[in-house]
Amino acid sequence: MNDNLRNAMVAARTTPTDVAAALAVDPKTVSRWLKGRIPYPRHRWAIADLLHAQEADLWPQVTQQRLALASDVQAIYSHRWAVPQSVWHTLFQGATKQIGILTYSGLFLPEDRRILDILVDRARAGVKIRILLGDPDSPQVARRGTDEGIGPDVMAARIKNAIALYRRLHNVPNVEIRLHRTVLYNSIFRADSELLVNLHAYATPAADAPVMHLRHREDQGASAIYLTSFERIWTTAVPHSDESQPDAGQDTDS
């Protein structure tokens, strides 16, 4: 029951029928709100104006949720390329328990020799490393390549290149690489409670899209949403078999 809303309506001498008429909704909808369902923002604002009350007083849990979301955000970068390389190094170097990488190719990571060194070092120190790459043969990868304007073959080739570069990790303990076939709305890079989330946008290369730096504090925060997404994709992904790929283990400096 939402006693705050009920008491505010009594104080304003307003009935559920009055609220329904003012907001052009069914009286049954107002009844559900009184029973505890949280209205859409536009309805919350309209009800608060109608009752001459504050939204936070009528639905204090909404304010608590907003605070939880805001407390997670450490920084926002306008583009992924604007994230300093030192931030990526510090992120993974600071891991003591686990590292998670979820992307389609994320080729910029294995192309960085320093990051590969860090991943090897952390894995040998007992840090669990899980890497999720897109299945290069999946329609989802082909569609993403088309949406970015580079074509499906280029996106698949980038993934295969990333797989080849990650081959250095294949005999390192505590490392597992899986291939996924999901429509990827965000790329996620995790080191313990720290996350960098690359927000994807239609027809925009991932490198040009924004990145949020989040710190996981509680299960109701923004970070929990992305951690849950990572875990769900991990459970449906297929372990990568090195033998299934053509030999691409040559060393490159490009």
Are 184 and 135 in a shared domain? Answer: yes
Residue 188 lies in a domain: yes
Domain membership of residue 68 (yes or no) is no
- Give the integer Cα–Cα distance in Å for 121 and 115: 10
Is the Cβ–Cβ distance between 226 and 195 less than 8 Å? yes
Between 250 and 36, the higher pLDDT residue = 36
Average pLDDT over residues 37-52: 90
Question: 84-98, 158-172, 205-219, 240-254: which range is least confident on average?
Answer: 240-254
Mean pLDDT of 222-247: 82
150 falls within a domain: yes
> Domain check: are 87 and 136 in the same one?
yes
Mean pLDDT of 223-234: 93
Lowest-confidence pick of 22-36, 38-52, 68-82, 137-151: 68-82
Q: In this structure, is residue 63 part of a structural domain?
A: no
Question: Is residue 87, in this structure, part of any structural domain at all?
Answer: yes
User: Residue 146 belongs to a domain with what CATH number?
Assistant: 3.30.870.10
Same domain (yes/no): 109, 170: yes
Average pLDDT value over all residues in the chain = 88
Residue 169 is encoded by which pair of tokens? 């990790």
Domain with 37 in it: 3-54
Structurally, the chain folds into a number of domains equal to 2
Over range 184-200, report the average pLDDT: 95
Q: Do residues 47 and 145 share a domain?
A: no
Confidence class for position 68, pLDDT limits 50, 70, 90: low
Residue 247: pLDDT over 80: no
- 128, 33: one domain: no
Query: Does residue 170 or residue 230 have the better pLDDT?
Result: 230
Q: Are residues 14 and 111 in the same domain?
A: no
Residue type, 65: Q
State whether 43 and 85 are in the same domain: no
Cα(38)–Cα(79) distance, rounded to whole angstroms?
35
Same domain? For 16 and 77 the reply is no
* Same-domain check for residues 79 and 160: yes
Q: What type of residue sits at position 37?
A: R
Closest CA to 89 of 191, 205, 180: 191
Residue 43 belongs to a domain: yes
Tell me the β-bridge partners of 76.
Answer: 212
Local confidence band at 207 (pLDDT 50, 70, 90 cut-offs): very high
Residue 83, domain member (yes or no): yes
* 9 and 116 part of one domain: no
Same domain, 125 and 222: yes
CATH at residue 21 = 1.10.260
pTM, entire model: 0.69
Residue 162 lies in a domain: yes
Closest to 95 measured CA to CA, from 125, 116, 75: 125
Both 155 and 212 in a single domain? Answer: yes
Burial, 215: exposed, middle or buried (Cβ in 10 Å; 0-12, 13-18, 19+)? middle
pLDDT of residue 93: 95
Q: What is the pLDDT of residue 253?
A: 36
Which one has a higher pLDDT value, 68 or 60? 60
Q: Please give the pLDDT value at position 73.
A: 76
User: 142-168 as b/e, with b when 16 or more CB fall inside 10 Å?
Assistant: bebbebbeeebeebbbbbbbbbbbbbb
pLDDT digits (tens, 9 = 90+) for 138-158: 999 999 999 888 888 999 999
